[in-house]
Amino acid sequence: MDPRVEKFMAGIMARNPGEREFHQAVHEVAESLIPFIEENPKYKHAKILERMAEPERVVLFRVPWIDDKGEIQINKGYRVEMNSAIGPYKGGIRFHPTVNLGILKFLAFEQVFKNSLTTLPMGGGKGGSDFDPKGKTDNEVMKFCQSFMTELSRHIGPETDIPAGDIGVGGREIGYMFGQYKRLRNEFTGVLTGKGREWGGSLIRPEATGYGCVYFAQAMLLTRGDSLAGKTVTVSGSGNVAQYATEKATELGARILTLSDSAGYIYDPAGIDPEKLKWIMELKNIKRGRISEYAEKFGVEYYQGKRPWSVKCDIALPCATENEISKEEAEALVNNGCFVVSEGANMPSTAEAVEVFLRRKILYGPGKAANAGGVAVSGLEMTQNAMRMSWHREEVDQKLQQIMKDIHETCIRFGRNEDGSVNYVKGSNIGGFVKVADAMLAQGAV
């Protein structure tokens, strides 16, 4: 390891003990940025990276709620307001039993770079709770969301901090939280994104992360004069991002072989066509069932407790969660001929897996670039709310496609290797950093 990175990381680990995912996210960025900062000493003297690794504010609170049996339940609530140099804090809310401060700090840190890459004026934040929506009734989810928002509402606002969805937070949860915010403040504002389209939501926001991840894969393929047509694709997850990545990749001529959830994956060699996908959307979004039911319904194999990375494919789209591709799985993917990885999830590849992708020079698009389409359309939702109007589907999709192309260009500008290949990790880290760093320089030691 570069001794300068080692020294920087020793400081990060001492200040943030036990926050493994946060260390991982900062380390990956530091490896790209520390050499860049050495060449640009203005950032070094102002300790920009050191400041970026310290949240501007963290709010931690109790979320009491009453379940259907009348029993009091207690969860933890968090909002990490990481950086507001280029705009109000912006980023999703995650409801999942694994949520802790370290995970939210990693997500908020990544969000700062991602939001900067979109070119829209958004700072970075992330929030959530260890609440598990699985197995809860709609009424219990509503009770929880109302209690969560009762405290969160003191800290957010359309000019301050604008949350959205993430794992476990979709249209239903955004609706309950928006309703409670509106009731408490007596204000109808664009305080959350991912709203229903009848009440201020943007068309294409539900699709945006998955579509954007596929558009990014398309842009990477184009650098080799290639396209998605005829390619085989493995996808992990079966939630919001996985569903729309499947939809767009299929539309562009690829064959989707797998989907998964936390219990296992299904392998459908014939491909998950639009009709099967429609069935999955109903299963996951309305009935809230398990992906194993797909195997029963369509007579394909289900691999319990396994992840889909041993399946031979051209393209992998990890769309479930962090650290879902190990070093061994990365090697298996590449050895089986996979030459494109576009990350719909945040930090789905372990540090060792990233190392494999970079060493083997495949087209590897890290999450902060490849999944930025979601927050980009959130930014477009904020613009539409501020203008009190809404754009057509085609208009939003055009803007999304352009933003993904621009992010890809930025990655090339900052990440081109001497041999002509592109290191998208370096490109997205430096490309996301510069705008935030220059804003921080201009604003002084705040």
Catalytic residues: 126
Helix (H, G, I), strand (E, B) or coil at 4: helix
Contact letters for ligand NDP, residues 76-95 (x by CB under 6 A): --------------------
CB of residue 124 to ligand NDP, shortest distance in Å: 12
The letter for the amino acid at 211 is Y
Residue nearest to ligand 2IT (CB): 92
Phi and psi at 148, nearest 5°, equal -60, -45
Binding-site member from 77, 344, 415, 431 for ligand NDP (CB under 6 A): 344
Residue nearest to ligand NDP (CB): 239
What is the DSSP code string of 318-347?
--S-TT-B-HHHHHHHHHTT--EEE-SSSS
Residue in this structure with the two tokens 């939809």, named with its chain if needed: 247
**Which positions from 135 through 164 interact with ligand NDP, judged by CB under 6 A?**
none
Nearest to 302 by CA among 313, 314, 294, 310: 294
Question: DSSP class of residue 202?
Answer: P
Is residue 346 at the binding interface for ligand NDP, with CB under 6 A as the rule? Answer: yes
Is residue 316 at the binding interface for ligand NDP, with CB under 6 A as the rule? Answer: no
Is residue 125 at the binding interface for ligand NDP, with CB under 6 A as the rule? Answer: no
What is the DSSP code string of 157-175?
BTTTEEEE-BTTBSHHHHH
Is residue 319 at the binding interface for ligand NDP, with CB under 6 A as the rule? Answer: yes
Contact letters for ligand NDP, residues 262-291 (x by CB under 6 A): xx----------------------------
The region of 52-60, 172-180, 341-349, 429-437 touching ligand NDP under the rule CB under 6 A is 341-349
Give bridge partners of residue 317 from the DSSP assignment. Answer: 235
Q: Which residues fall within 8 angstroms of residue 25, CB to CB, at 6 or more apart?
A: 106, 109, 110, 347
Is residue 241 at the binding interface for ligand NDP, with CB under 6 A as the rule? Answer: yes
Is residue 317 at the binding interface for ligand NDP, with CB under 6 A as the rule? Answer: no
The region of 171-179, 237-245, 349-357, 409-417 touching ligand NDP under the rule CB under 6 A is 237-245
- Tokens representing 380 are 């477009």
Binding-site member from 88, 102, 123, 239 for ligand NDP (CB under 6 A): 239
Binding positions for ligand 2IT, rule: CB under 6 A: 90-92, 111, 114, 164, 166, 193, 346, 374-375, 378
Is residue 166 at the binding interface for ligand NDP, with CB under 6 A as the rule? Answer: yes
Q: Residue 239 binds which entry of ligand NDP, ligand 2IT, none, with Cβ cut-offs from 5 to 8 Å by kind?
A: ligand NDP
The residue length of the chain stands at 446
Phi and psi at 365, nearest 5°, equal -100, 105
> CA separation (Å) from 95 to 54, 131, 243, 367?
23, 5, 19, 20
Binding-site member from 374, 379, 431, 432 for ligand NDP (CB under 6 A): 374
Nearest to 133 by CA among 176, 104, 181: 176
User: Judged by CB, which is closer to ligand 2IT: 353, or 375?
Assistant: 375
Vertex 261, ends 259 and 267: CA angle to 5°?
Answer: 30
Q: Residue 147 binds which entry of ligand 2IT, ligand NDP, none, with Cβ cut-offs from 5 to 8 Å by kind?
A: none
What distance in Å separates the CA atoms of residue 90 and residue 88, rounded to the nearest whole number? 6
Binding site for ligand NDP (CB under 6 A): 96, 98, 165-168, 170, 209, 237-242, 261-263, 319-321, 344-346, 371, 374
